[in-house]
């Protein structure tokens, strides 16, 4: 039996990278995928998806915030090996991600496509936009 979500979406990403780890369901905004694919092309390095879609149970289990954009398939947490996290943040801003969380200690960025006010934060502290 193959992987249920083993479907190539772009040259760089497959659907299974965005599935919920507990139930394997997937919701993925086409806009999020387009921006993430653009980021991959611009930096010219593989992007690892740490977390894509999360069901309510998984979001609660990992301590995700209520109303997380991960619940809607509008957010992704990523890591790029051998790439400065702050530089990745700058590229993500330029591509138009509206929500960017900078998690230096854990070495990942949260990226989302929220509407309305843009936000950038470091850990739990809002730092701009």
In degrees rounded to 5, what are phi and psi of residue 88?
-60, -40
Domain enclosing residue 107, as ranges: 15-128
Can you tell me whether residue 84 is helix, strand or coil? coil
Q: What's the confidence (pLDDT) of residue 55?
A: 97
Contact 48, 14 (CB under 8 A): no
Q: What's the confidence (pLDDT) of residue 25?
A: 95
In degrees rounded to 5, what are phi and psi of residue 109?
-110, 140
β-strands 119-122, 99-103 pairing: parallel
Residue position matching structure tokens 């740490």: 50
In a domain, 3, yes or no: no
In this prediction, residue 7 has a pLDDT band, given cuts at 50, 70 and 90, of confident
In a domain, 10, yes or no: no
Mean pLDDT of all residues in 55-66: 94
Can you tell me whether residue 63 is helix, strand or coil? coil
For 99-126, the pLDDT digits (tens) are 999 999 999 999 999 998 899 999 866 6
Q: Which CATH number fits the domain that encloses residue 41?
A: 3.30.1380.10
In a domain, 7, yes or no: no
Q: What's the confidence (pLDDT) of residue 5?
A: 77
In a domain, 1, yes or no: no
Residue 14 has pLDDT above 80, yes or no: yes
**How many domains are there within the chain?**
1
In a domain, 8, yes or no: no
In a domain, 48, yes or no: yes
In a domain, 2, yes or no: no
Q: Residue 119 and residue 46: Cα distance in Å, rounded?
A: 25
In a domain, 68, yes or no: yes
Residue 41 has pLDDT above 70, yes or no: yes
């Amino acid at each position: 039996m193959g992987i249920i979500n083993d479907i190539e979406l772009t040259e760089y990403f497959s659907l299974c990278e965005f599935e919920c780890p507990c139930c394997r369901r997937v919701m993925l905004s086409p806009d999020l995928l387009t921006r993430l694919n653009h980021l991959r092309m611009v930096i010219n390095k593989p992007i690892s998806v740490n977390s894509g879609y999360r069901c309510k149970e998984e979001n609660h289990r990992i301590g995700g915030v209520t109303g997380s954009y991960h619940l809607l398939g509008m957010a992704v947490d990523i890591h790029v090996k051998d790439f400065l996290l702050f530089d990745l943040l700058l590229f993500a801003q330029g591509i138009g991600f509206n929500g960017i969380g900078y998690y230096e200690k854990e070495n990942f960025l949260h990226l989302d496509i929220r509407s309305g006010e843009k936000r950038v934060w470091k850990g739990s502290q809002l730092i701009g936009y």
